[in-house]
Amino acid sequence: MQEPRVIVALDYDDQAQALSFIDQLDPSLCKLKVGKEMFTLFGPEFVKLLVDKGYDVFLDLKFHDIPNTVAKACKAAAELGVWMVNVHASGGIPMMMAAKQAIASSRHPSTKLIAVTVLTSMDQAQLNEVIDDVTPKEQVLRLCALTSKAELDGIVCSAQEAVALREHYSDDFLLVTPGIRPQGADAGDQKRVMTPSDAIDHGVNYLVMGRPITQAQDPIAVLKAVNASIS
Ligand SMILES: O=C(O)c1cc(=O)[nH]c(=O)n1[C@@H]1O[C@H](COP(=O)(O)O)[C@@H](O)[C@H]1O
C-alpha cells in the first residue's frame, strides 16, 4: 500500500473531539500533526498516545532559539517516538546542525527534521514588512539553501514554490506544504494556497491539511476524497 501523503493537522482544543476523529481513521489513511495548541493543552502524553496507535506523528513545534536550546528540545521531541519535527530555518545553520546532531544522538534517531521557510500565511506584502525587496519564492529558496547545507531532511514551504525548488533539489529532499485547499474551500488565514492534486503535480511530498478536513461535516469523506484525488 502507498504511504499516506496527507498529514492531518489536529488543531483541536478538545482532546475527546480529536480522539473521536482519530477513532474513525487508521494509519493507512493519513499521518497526524500535533501543533502548538494541542501540545500546550495535552502535552507529550497525547503525542505518545498517537504514536502508540501506530500513526506517523509530525510534532510541529517550530523551534527557533539558540542552538543549545533547540538541540535539547529536538532530542526530547524525537524521544517521544515521533516521525518528524521542525525548526525555523531562519534560526541559521549552526542551530539546524545542532538539532540534527541531537536527534542523531537520541533514542529515536530516525526522526526526520525539517525547517520552516516562509509561513504559508504570509504574502508578498507581509513578507516585505519583515524583510525588504524579496519575494516569497526568493526567500524560500534562500532558507532552503541553508537547510540543505545543514543536511536536514527537507523544508516546510507553500506548494507555490515547489516547482522552483525541484529545479535544485531531488525528490528525496522533502517538501512539506501547508496551505492546501480543495477547490472552493475557504482559505482562512492562508495566503499561498494550492489544491491537493496541483501540489502533488508540482513535486510536493506531503500535504498538511487541517480545517478543510477537521471542520468539515464529514471529515473522513473529505480525507478520502483528497486521497483519491492524489492517488
Ligand atoms: O509548520 C507547519 O505545519 C505550518 C507552516 C506554515 O508555513 N503554515 C502552516 O499553516 N503550518 C501549519 O499547518 C496547519 C495548516 O492548517 P489549515 O490551515 O487548517 O489547513 C496549521 O497547523 C499550521 O500551524
Q: What is the pTM of this model?
A: 0.98
* C-alpha torsion angle, residues 169, 199, 129, 113 (rounded to 10): -50
How many CB atoms neighbour CB 216 within 10 A?
15
Beta bridge partners of 224: none
Q: Confirm whether residue 61 is marked as ligand binding.
A: yes
CA–centroid distance, 179 to ligand 1, in Å, is 7
| pLDDT tens digits, one per residue of 131-149 | 999 999 999 999 999 999 9
**In this structure, what C-alpha cell is assigned to residue 25?**
481513521
Domain ranges (residues) in the chain: 6-230
Which helix H or strand E contains 33, and what residues bound it?
Answer: strand 31-34
Q: Whose CA is nearest to atom 5 of ligand 1?
A: 119
What pLDDT does residue 2 have? 82
163: left (phi over 0), alpha (psi -120 to 50) or beta: alpha
CATH 3.10.129.10 fits 6-230, yes or no: no
CA–centroid distance, 132 to ligand 1, in Å, is 24
Phi and psi, residue 57, nearest 5°: -110, 125
Which helix H or strand E contains 103, and what residues bound it?
Answer: helix 93-104
**Residues belonging to the active site:** 60, 62, 65
Ligand 1 is surrounded, with C-beta below 6 A, by 9, 11, 35, 60, 62, 86, 116, 119-121, 156, 178-179, 188, 190, 208-212
| pLDDT tens digits, one per residue of 91-138 | 999 999 999 999 999 999 999 999 999 999 999 999 999 999 999 999
Atom of ligand 1 nearest to the CA of 9: 22
